[in-house]
Structure 1
Amino acid sequence: MSMSPERLMVFVADGQAGSRPLTAAFILLILVAGAVYMGTLISIITSPNGKGMKFAWAIFVFIAPLLGVTLWFLVGRRHARSSPATF
């Protein structure tokens, strides 16, 4: 069954082309989680911690993303700011 271009445009404009709000919400959730994950890694890299500690935090975030991100922002950043920079 073939549709004319005008009919197809009306079909899409009416939102009947399979609009899925849960899919859009899921994609948004993935994008936000990815942004938080990347922000965490950038925060770890730019922290005043030594290379070994940065590496340990990065590995921890890769192994346990949710726990690693949460602990970095609750404990790691605060500790990194209070300790002197070592290289």
Structure 2
Amino acid sequence: MTSLHAVAAQVDSTSQPLHWLFAGGIVLFLLALVALFVVVLVSVLGSDLSAGMKVLWVLFIFWMPVVAWFAWYLIGRPDSRRRRPGPAY
């Protein structure tokens, strides 16, 4: 039985760095999500939309964050609508 305990202790000591690496990856991922949330929120609040539209966008960002982030940068930003090229005649 002592050899089984020794093997279990060795497995625990070798897998410890992997746990820390995984936890660090999760922390970095969560920090990136928070940073993206803040960037999109500042972008919405700093836009030239009306107050009502800003409130709707902020509620949408809190309700469905990832979908709202992509929607804001693809269709919501007033700058993105101005920069689209018109039809080529």
Relative to the length of structure 2, the TM-score reads: 0.67
Structure 1 gaps, min length 5: 1-15
Name the CA distance, whole Å, in 2 between partners of 1:67 and 1:41.
13
Name the CA distance, whole Å, in 1 between partners of 2:36 and 2:66.
10
Name the CA distance, whole Å, in 2 between partners of 1:73 and 1:22.
30
Number of aligned pairs?
Answer: 65
Secondary structure of the corresponding residue to residue 47 of structure 2: coil
Name the CA distance, whole Å, in 2 between partners of 1:45 and 1:53.
10
Of structures 1 and 2, the larger Rg is shown by 2
Deviations 1:27-52 (A, max 9, x none): 00000010000100000000011101
Deviations 1:7-59 (A, max 9, x none): xxxxxxxxx8x431111011000000100001000000000111011111000
- Aligned residue in 1 for 2:57: 57
> Which structure has the highest helix share of the two?
2
Structure number with higher relative contact order (C-alpha < 8 Å, ≥ 6 residues apart)? 1
Q: Return structure 1 stretches of 4+ with deviation > 3 angstroms.
A: none
